[in-house]
Amino acid sequence: MFSTPSAMAATRPRYGGTLRVAMRAAPTSLDPAGPQAPDWFGSRNVSLLVFDTLVTVDNSGRPQPALATSWQSEPSNQRWQFSIRRDITFQDGTALTSDAVAASLRAVNPTWKVFSAGDAVIIERDSATVNLPAELALPRNSIVRREGGKISGTGPFTVTQWAPGKKLVLTAREDYWGGRAFVDSIEIEMGKTFRDQMISLGLGKTDVIEVAPEQLHRASAESSRVEHSEPVELMALVFARDRQSADDGRIREALALSLDRASLNNVVLQSGGEPSAALLPNWMTGYAFVFPSNVDLAHARQNLVGVRQTAPWTLGYDATDPSARVVAERIALNAHDAGLALQPTSSAADLRLVRVPLVSLDAHVALAELAKSLGLTPPKYNGNSNSEDDVYAAENGVLQSQRVIPLLHLRSASAVQATVKDWHKARDGSWNLPGIWLGPGMPGTDKP
Amino acid sequence: MRFRRKLLAVFALTVFLSVATVAWIVSAMTRRSFEQADEERTAALVAQFRHEFNRHGEEVVRRVETIASSEAATRMALKLSRGAPDYGAYLDEAKALAENQQLDFLEFVDSQGTIISSAQSPATFGYKESFPLAGPVPKDAFLKQEDLPDGAALALSAIRLINVGDRPLFVIGGQRLDKDFLAGLELPAGMRALLYRNPGNQAFSAQLLSDTSGPVTQAEQIAPLIKQIQSQHQEATALVHWSSNPADDETIHAIPLTGQQNQLLGILLVGSSRRAYVELRQHIRSAALLAGGAGMILAILLSGWAAARVTRPVEQLARAAREVADGNWNTQVMIQSSDELGELAESFNRMTHELLEQKERLVQTERVAAWRELARRLAHELKNPLFPLQLTVENLLRARQQSPEQFEETFQESSSTLLAEISNLKTIISRFSEFSRMPQPHLQSADLNELVQNVARLFQAQLHTPGRPPIECKLELAESMQPVAADPELMHRVLSNLVLNAMDAMPEGGILTLRTRQNDEHAFIEVSDTGTGLTPEECERLFTPYYTSKAHGTGLGLAIVQSVVSDHGGRVSVRSEPGSGATFVIELPNGELPDSSQSNKQ
């Protein structure tokens, strides 16, 4: 109550300033329906600055109103009706209407039946869809006005400069329905390596950067302010083909049993994640521990008795990911211990080392999107139940196909300058840039 | 082949052999010199490689020692001595230190042989190092095979030990022996270095061979040499033919590279191109060919000039000899030198001079002999009629003195005798006169068969003169005789003379055969008798003027025959043997008129 003015200034949010952000992704289009950039986190964070979705999902995985103020479904969960928030305009000044929302959703989901009814939008699906609100919270379902090759959103910022894949400058909207952002503008440098981002942060040229999971430990040790999410990125081995025979299945199982996930996580990835033999992380489902993730060489070798690997498998990895090669080589060594031959390669291979982000805090949607990203058979949910048992059964079904071997769940991490205040990261790693403000003495501040 | 050409060929061959011999000698000396230089260059490069190898080894040792004494390595050793290693803390440690010291390979290995951190294979943490670390630590650098995820590599490595705390820590660092290492060798022009990695007892693989630019094409060409080194572990040299072009050939010296346990880890190949030698040899050959060609041309020209200079007097002598053979004895050659050829020419001139003088003397002698023969014949011929004349006149005188009554009768008889003998004398004199006034033939187209038939018809009566044995005349005339150029009147006289001779040769009768025939060049008339025949000596002298084998003959008949036939461009010959008759053969040229006749016509 009698705190000094400086103390008051330190705790009271203030408007103004330019937030400088660096990211590894280099998207060439801001359209959420466009081709996704390799690093999905970056694209998602940029999308949330310019566009809104009908629904958002909170950290508990529950849908929350956004552009849609309420929604209701028929008992069969095939027909959904969403009421659209009023008095909202796109960045180009056009009013948000139910027709515009329906057109935006139809463009992204051509199989859906979407139409407007007054201030509401009605979505009809061919089958029951329990988690449609959570699905609508995916960035690709952002409401976009597309006209004459130009796109416009209802998000908190408007685009003032756009150099595809290089730089994006955003300006805060004064009339944003959720309230004006504290910072006046955001400058985003794209296509920067983790190393360059770290240097830029160290030199004070950037306020927010991404941190690779394997750099978490080092970045923290260097006294950077590092924030990380729950493990939200799956690292796994994905086979190019379905299981060819029973012997093939035994070899795949032997490979899974030979993997030393703990060493991969603790050493190679510097404890940047959690070992896991499940597709969805334990914090999301609570049952991931059920799938054994410890190395069991004896069992692996026993699996290979009477089974002969006809030719060494090739293990593909992303050559642009520095840690991927080490992980692949470690996996090859683990496999060799079990009696399997794996040859790491950066080209097409029998199985690939992949990193796939979890795009939703809703387990159902996250698993379905995961299977879709990995090219696996979509998970089969039983009935309309939205229970963990249903997700477990579906995930177990996917794992039983032996097309994928989960390795780790990695965290999404960011490092920010001390001048960045109220930095809160969602559990899925999404940035909440409109909610932050810049403290005094910040290099990018253009107001006293 | 003419003497000049022979001489020319000998000169040219001599020059060619000389040039070829010189070129071969130069080529052989060049090859020997090149091979010696090649061996020296190869030895120099091998020495340079060893020097570079040692220098690089010392550098690797120095850098590994720097790392071993670094604070990071010391700290790592201290932490290891206190408990289980935190591999995560050292995952990039070796890589960072290796990059800092510009080493391609660096590993930290604990006393149990467990890899703590690896620059070349970061994923191998916790695994055992395959290189045996038992025993003393090598002081110098050595060759080591590095097993990498993408295959084995050859390294020049060094080991140092960090003895801090209770548990020692090995630092194993090295530099890759690859194309960059080879590129660091300063090679003389035309030489190159290749490296063959020899992982284990693996068979030859072209992918294991590289030079400064990477993999070597046609590496199989070197396979035999590699296999030889693999089996013998000793240096060897081989000539490798990369293509059909000898300039692409390369002399390759192979040096085995062994590791600490004397195992063959690699093979250094020092290649020396033979292009320079081949090009030099080709230049020499080209120069030899050029010089040889120019020499040949010059030799031909000079040989031609020399041969002409040498053979010209010989040719003049040969030409003069031919003229002498043709009867032109008054032939002289020009004496142009005082050497043997000059002496030969002088001797030739002296010889022709002597021949000419001898001929003149012979002609003079023959002329005198002819006059003597003529005088003898005249005396003989005139003496025969004169003796009856004398006897007749003496008989007249004696009859007038001794029996005038019978003088008239004697006078009448003697007068007849005198007139007969005087007529005889006149005949003799007219024959001599006729021979001296032998006319030149007037050639015209004459049918020899017709001539022969006319003569036979003319002598038909005489052949069957009563009181003498008959002579049968047979005509064997060719059916298709072509006319020849001849004077019919003279040829008639010739045939008449021969027929008369034949009749004289057959006083006991016989067969007279007149025969004609013709070939491509000549027409022939043969007059054969079946008389007593002639001896060879008679045959030889038969056509000599005033020679006769008959008791009453002037010896001019056959001389006239020969003269007439010769004037026709022909010749007359006789073949005979005693007792078997004689055959006179007249040979006249076909068609064309003889030169003399032509001149007469003109």
pLDDT digits (tens, 9 = 90+) for B178-197: 888 788 777 777 778 888 88
Q: Report the DSSP pairing between strands A351-357 and A185-189.
A: unpaired
Question: What percent of chain B shows pLDDT beyond 70?
Answer: 94
Residue of B nearest to A333 (CA): B124
Q: Decide: B572 and B588 in contact? Cβ < 8 Å.
A: no
Q: Would the CB atoms of A326 and B91 count as touching at under 8 Å?
A: yes
Residues of chain B found within 8 Å of residue A326, distances taken between Cβ atoms: 91, 122-123
Burial string for B280-292 (b: 16+ CB within 10 Å, else e) reads bbeebeeebeeeb
CB B395 within 8 A of CB B369: no
Q: Which domain holds residue B250?
A: 191-273
- Listed in sequence order, the residues at least 6 apart from A30 whose beta carbon sits closer than 8 Å to its beta carbon are A46, A47, A50, A151, A159, A162, A168
Q: Strand, helix or coil at A13?
A: coil
Q: Is B252 helix (H, G, I), strand (E, B) or coil?
A: strand
Rounded distance, CA A408 to CA A423, Å?
Answer: 26
Quick check: A430 contacting B, CB < 8 Å?
no
Output the pLDDT for position B329: 79
% pLDDT > 90, chain B: 14
In chain B, residues with a C-beta closer than 8 Å to the C-beta of A328 are: 123
Q: DSSP state, B219?
A: G
Instruction: Measure in Å the smallest separation between the Cα of B114 and chain A Cα atoms.
Output: 14
- Helices H / strands E in chain A, number of each: 13, 21
pLDDT at B160: 93
Average pLDDT over residues A308-336: 90
Q: What residue in B sits closest to A269 (Cα-Cα)? A: B88
Nearest CA in chain A to B116: A267
For A267, the closest of B91, B121, B150 (CB atoms) is B91
pLDDT band at A281 (very low <50, low <70, confident <90, very high): very high
Averaged confidence pLDDT in chain B: 83
For B394-410, the DSSP string reads HHHHHHHHH-GGGHHHH
Among B135, B155, B177, give the residue marking a domain's end.
B177
| Residue A384: band (very low, low, confident or very high) from pLDDT cuts 50, 70, 90 | low
In a domain, A360, yes or no: yes
Q: Is residue A389 part of a domain?
A: yes
- Backbone phi, then psi, for B46, in 5-degree steps? -60, -45
The nearest CA of chain B is from the CA of A121 a distance in Å of 53
Q: Nearest CA to CA, how far is A247 from chain B (Å)?
A: 26
User: What are the tens digits of pLDDT across the range A215-261?
Assistant: 887 788 776 688 888 899 999 999 999 998 999 999 999 999 999 99
Q: What's the pLDDT at A223?
A: 62
- pLDDT confidence of residue A120: 94
pLDDT tens-digit series, residues B420-473: 888 878 877 877 777 676 777 888 888 999 999 999 888 888 888 888 888 999
How far, CA to CA in Å, does B342 sit from each of A54, B335, B339? 134, 6, 5
Give the residue from B227, B252, B273 where a domain finishes.
B273
Which of A297-311, B239-253, B392-406, B448-462 has the least mean pLDDT? B392-406
Is the residue at A45 inside a domain? no
- Please state the rounded mean pLDDT for residues A412-426: 86
Distance CA(A42)–CA(A190), nearest Å, equals 9
Give the pLDDT mean for A131-135.
Answer: 90
Residue of A nearest to B92 (CA): A268
- Mark whether A249 and A396 lie in a shared domain: yes
B144 lies in the same domain as B241: no
Q: What is the ipTM of this complex?
A: 0.80
Cβ of A232 under 8 Å from any chain B Cβ?
no
State the CATH number of the domain containing residue A135. Answer: 3.90.76.10
Say yes or no: B344 and B481 in one domain. Answer: no
Judged by CB atoms closer than 8 Å, whether chains meet at B87 and A344 is answered as no
Is residue A7, in this structure, part of any structural domain at all? no
3-state SS of A367-427? HHHHHHHHCCCCCCCCCCCCCHHHHHHHHHHHHHCCCEEEEEEEEEEEEECCCEECCCECC
What is d(CA A237, CA A175) in angstroms, rounded to the nearest whole number? 47
Q: Extract the tokens encoding A72.
A: 């209701």
Q: Which of B402, B434, B466 is the last residue of a domain?
A: B434
Q: Check whether A3 has a pLDDT greater than 50.
A: no
Comparing alpha-carbon positions, the chain A residue that sits nearest to B87 is A267
A223's CB contacts (< 8 A; 6+ apart) are none
DSSP B287-342: HHHHHHHHHHHHHHHHHHHHHHHHHHHHHHHHHHHHHHHTT----------SSHHH
Token pair belonging to B495: 């045939």
Q: Is B86 part of any domain? A: yes
Question: Does residue B151 sit at the A interface (CB-CB below 8 Å)?
Answer: no
Confirm if A418 and A225 have CB atoms less than 8 A apart.
Answer: yes
pLDDT band at B594 (very low <50, low <70, confident <90, very high): very low
A266 touches chain B (CB under 8 A): yes
Name the band, by pLDDT with cuts 50, 70 and 90, for residue A7. Answer: very low
Which pLDDT value is given to residue B339?
81
3-state SS, residue A173: coil
Question: Looking at the predicted structure, is the pLDDT value of residue B593 above 80?
Answer: no
Assess whether B173 and B211 both reside in one domain. Answer: no
Cβ contacts (< 8 Å) between A219 and chain B: which residues?
none
Q: Domain end: A134, A154, A174, which one?
A: A154
Tell me the C-alpha to C-alpha distance, in Å, between residue B268 and each of B179, B182, B209, B220, B231.
12, 10, 10, 16, 15
Average pLDDT over residues A319-330: 89
For residue A11, what pLDDT is reported? Answer: 67
Residue B123 domain flag = yes
H or E segment and range at residue A21: strand A18-22
Instruction: Say if A385 falls within a structural domain.
Output: yes
- My answer on whether B470 and B566 are in the same domain is yes
Mark whether A144 and A234 lie in a shared domain.
Answer: no
End-to-end CA distance of chain B: 43
Looking at residue A385, what is its pLDDT?
53
Asked which of A122, A154, A186 is the last residue of a domain, the reply is A154
| Per-residue pLDDT at B49 exceeds 90 | no
B407 and B450 fall within a common domain: no
The DSSP line for B459-515 is: THHHHT-TTS--EEEEEE--SSPPPEEE-HHHHHHHHHHHHHHHHHH-TT-EEEEEE
**Looking at the domain assignment, is residue B317 inside a domain?**
no
The answer to whether A330 contacts B123, with C-beta atoms less than 8 Å apart, is yes
Per the CB < 8 Å rule, is B123 touching A329? yes
Model confidence pLDDT, tens digit, residues A92-106? 999 999 999 999 999
Per the structure, the complete domain to which residue A92 belongs is given by 52-154
Q: Which residues have C-beta within 8 Å of that of residue A337, sequence separation ≥ 6?
A: A258, A297
Distance from the A142 Cα atom to the nearest Cα atom in chain B, whole angstroms: 41
Asked if A297 reaches chain B (Cβ–Cβ under 8 Å), the answer is: no
Q: Please state, as a whole number, how many other Cβ atoms lie within 10 Å of the Cβ of residue B23.
A: 17
Instruction: Choose, out of A215, A295, A330, the residue to mutate when testing the contact with B (most B CBs < 10 Å).
Output: A330
> Across all residues in chain A, what is the average pLDDT?
87
Whether A4 has a pLDDT exceeding 50, the answer reads no
pLDDT in tens, A9-50: 456 788 999 999 999 888 888 888 876 544 567 778 888 899
Alpha-carbon distance A345 to nearest alpha carbon in chain B (angstroms): 8
Residues in chain B with CB shorter than 8 Å from the CB of A332 are 123, 149
Q: Residue A355: give its domain's CATH number.
A: 3.10.105.10
A431 vs A446: CA distance, rounded Å = 23
Which of A217, A270, A329 comes nearest B121 by C-beta?
A329
Mean pLDDT of A347-363: 91
**Would you call B130 an interface residue with chain A, using a CB distance cutoff of 8 Å?**
no
Residue B144 lies in a domain: yes
Q: How many residues does chain B have?
A: 602
What's the token pair of residue B202?
Answer: 């693996």
Residue of chain B minimizing CA distance to A346: B150
Q: HSE of A388 in the Cβ direction (CA atoms, 13 Å)?
A: 10
- Of residues B341 and A419, the one with the higher pLDDT is A419
Q: Residue A39: its pLDDT value, please?
A: 52
- State percent of chain A over pLDDT 70: 93
Mean pLDDT calculated for residue range A198-203: 89
pLDDT value at A344 more than 60: yes
B91–chain A Cβ distance below 8 A for any pair = yes
Can you point out the beta strands (E) in A203-348? 208-211, 225-239, 273-275, 313-316, 342-345
Asked if the C-beta of A124 comes within 8 angstroms of chain B's C-beta atoms, the answer is no
Whether residue B506 contacts residue B531, with contact meaning beta carbons closer than 8 Å, is answered with: yes
Would you call A267 and B121 a contact, using CB atoms and an 8 Å cutoff?
A: no
- What is the per-residue pLDDT for A36? 59
Weakest mean pLDDT among A368-372, B39-43, B415-419: B39-43
Q: Among B239, B256, B285, B247, which residue's Cα sits nearest to residue B196?
A: B256
Rounded mean pLDDT of B250-279? 85
For residue range B361-401, what is the model confidence (pLDDT) as tens digits?
A: 887 887 777 677 677 767 767 777 777 788 888 888 888 88
Lowest model confidence (mean pLDDT) among A54-58, A411-415, B141-145, B285-289: B285-289
Domain count along chain A: 2
Average pLDDT in the B161-185 region?
A: 85
Q: Evaluate whether residue A371 is within a structural domain.
A: yes
Query: B555 exposed, middle or buried (CB, 10 Å; 0-12, 13-18, 19+)?
Result: buried
- Statement to judge: residues B588 and B552 lie in one domain: yes
A269 falls within a domain: yes
Sign of dihedral through CA atoms A208, A213, A215, A218?
Answer: positive
At B8, give phi and psi (nearest 5°).
-65, -45
Summarize the confidence of residues B312-324 as an average pLDDT.
82
Instruction: Identify the H or E element spanning A196.
Output: helix A194-202
CATH number of residue B106's parent domain: 3.30.450.20
Residue A21 lies in a domain: no
**Phi (first) and psi of residue A124, to 5 degrees:** -120, 130
**pLDDT-derived band at A53, boundaries 50, 70, 90:** very high
**Same domain for A140 and A270:** no
Which of A216, A258, A267, A407 to mutate: most B Cβ within 10 Å? A267
Q: Are residues B572 and B468 in the same domain?
A: yes
pLDDT at B596: 45
- Same domain? B522 vs B556: yes
Whole-number Cα distances in Å, A203 to A198, A418, A443, B89: 9, 13, 11, 25
Partner residue facing A326 (CB), from B123, B126, B127: B123
Q: Is the pLDDT confidence value at A81 over 60?
A: yes
Are B157 and B240 in a shared domain? no
Residue-wise over B85-94: b if at least 16 C-beta within 10 A, else e? bebbbbbbbb
Give backbone dihedrals phi and psi of A55, rounded to 5 degrees, phi first.
-135, 150
pLDDT at A444: 47
Same domain flag for B161 and B147 = yes
> Is residue A150 domain-shared with residue A255, that is, in the same domain?
no
Backbone phi, then psi, for B466, in 5-degree steps? -65, 145
Which of B387, B374, B451 shows the shortest CA–CA distance to B418? B387
| Helix (H/G/I), strand (E/B), else coil: B196 | strand
Q: How many domains does chain B have?
A: 4
CB atoms within 10 A of CB B184: 13
Q: Are A415 and A219 in contact (CB under 8 A)?
A: yes
Distance from CA of B103 to the nearest CA of A (A): 19
Same domain (yes/no): A274, A145: no
Residues of A in contact with B125 (CB under 8 A): 263, 267
